[in-house]
Chains A and B, each alone.
Chain A
């Protein structure tokens, strides 16, 4: 018997005016999988994340999380069902400290009320202590504990990317979506990030879907890879199969092999 899928996207299409950003997208994620989503810039990868997390409603098709449809749910409700993510263009709470960034993501699981906070009840203090401890533990895991009280935007680029992952984990997700987590990192940082992703996957029992342009990174880390082009899935399979797929080589790896670096900038304001 096959296990029930954690995420199931069926024939999902998203159109922006005349532009079809994602077309007929099918995806099934089983619990514990680590899947890569690749494709040239503008292929619709980030849009797929935005559809899964409820930023956009699909124009067609539907998405289920643990067999529950997500249509009509706001992003915070979808987060409450165990989906968390990072962003291609880092979106930290800049003026807050590193520690507060992580604490904020415990909001979903905060039980004390406003009145508890105002009266500083036992419930408030106990829960805040717990949040404090857990947030620090997460920072330690990502080697950010020394910067706990620094402003988030004072961190170096690679650290900001790690903080985004730490913050995403604070919602206690089952499904983690990472949008270009290694972008802007140097070789050593990328290597460390790979180890961190493997570590948190087992530690927190996660299912992970990640977008990444660094081919070595994706090939080494992911068990299964999906390739998007012009919003459509053009190939899907093991890293080995993807590497040898002529359509993929033509569409994507061919460019990379010739050293063509595609600009990461995007012209719109949707979370990227």
Chain B
């Protein structure tokens, strides 16, 4: 039981890293990217290919650790590099056009991988276990290790994005969302900051991809399709564009909902839940475009204050 929980926690945490990165691009900087799953794929496959290229037969733990770190770094850098490659031409596009271009990017990445024999083609890629082997008796330590690593990745993502957003670089990004023209006239270099948001978001997607590859040890192109992109976007939109705790909350809720439906629904209609999720994205965007939390963080909401804080003097009724 604990084993299953940790397994799901790991997958959920990696989705959180993806969604947080997309929120920087779509929620904080105000662009509309639909290709985040493409960066996830680049990170996963770069880490996988790198691992296969450098791992000797029967690696020791030290070597395994080295390869793991190297491939994770490779995944991050490869995805970030793709952020530049996609960003430079695409970021001149506005609104819908950017969405279409990034959507195209995500599909192209998947199709290229599918047709590249060196990356396993449609069969996918299998990498050796590096840190721990997942045997019958090591199931629990294995998932516990990866759950810890994935949660660490979430923490690192939140920490980094928070630090950036509270600096003048982050303010420039938010200013672009608020009023691109005013921001530029006040000295904000639009291309620099849009690209920075893209690179950062892509880099974290790459990290999630690398961890995903090592955790599952088997990746296939069809896991990195548009559906993944729609799921990630739904987490961001439902949680609130521009709210990190909203993203975390929505990812957790929707992940759990998705897995519950998967278990409850009879197999013949299971696939419909994916349709339902895509539909939910459309509905949220129409009915509550600001998401659950809008641009607020959880601790800034009234409910949170009521639950966890005594009335502060400012909130106490006036005499």
Contact = CB atoms under 8 A, between A and B. Distances in A.
A128 B168 contact: yes
B185 A104 contact: no
Interface string A104-122: 1111101010101110100
Interface stretch (B2-10, B171-179, B244-252, B253-261): B171-179
Contact of A93 (B168, B175, B185, B196): B175
A117 B164 contact: yes
Contact of A103 (B171, B183, B189, B242): B171
Contact of B184 (A76, A93, A100): A76
B184 A105 contact: no
A55 to B, nearest CB: 7
Interface string B257-299: 0000000000000000000000000000000000000010000
A167 B186 CA distance: 8
B185 A79 contact: yes
Interface size class of B (residues with CB under 8 A): 20 to 34
B181 interface: yes
Interface string A52-68: 01010000000000000
**Top 3 nearest A-B pairs by Cβ distance?**
A117-B167, A108-B187, A93-B178
Q: Which of B171, B179, B182, B295 has the most CB of A within 10 A?
A: B182
Interface residues of A, number: 38
A92 B179 CA distance: 7
Interface stretch (A80-88, A136-144, A187-195): A80-88
Nearest to B189: A76
Given A95-B295, A128-B168, A107 B187 contact: yes
A106 B164 CA distance: 15
Nearest to B188: A107
Interface of A: 53, 55, 74-76, 79-80, 84-85, 87, 91-96, 100, 103-108, 110, 112, 114, 116-118, 120, 124, 128, 131, 167-168, 170-171, 271
Nearest to A91: B182
Given A55-B181, A93-B178, A93-B179, A105 B164 contact: no
Contact of B185 (A85, A94, A128, A170): A85
Contacts of B159: 118
Nearest to B191: A74
Contacts of A120: 163
Contacts of A168: 186
Contacts of A93: 174-175, 178-179, 182-183
Interface of B: 159-160, 163-164, 166-172, 174-175, 178-179, 181-190, 196, 200, 242, 295
B188 A104 contact: yes
14 contacts: A76-B184, A76-B187, A76-B189, A91-B182, A92-B179, A92-B182, A93-B174, A93-B175, A104-B171, A106-B168, A112-B168, A114-B196, A118-B163, A128-B168
Contacts of B171: 96, 100, 103-104, 107
Contacts of A87: 182
A110 B186 contact: no
B185 A55 contact: yes
A107 B172 contact: yes
B168 A110 contact: yes
B25 to A, nearest CB: 15
Contacts of B196: 114
Contact of A118 (B164, B175, B182, B190): B164
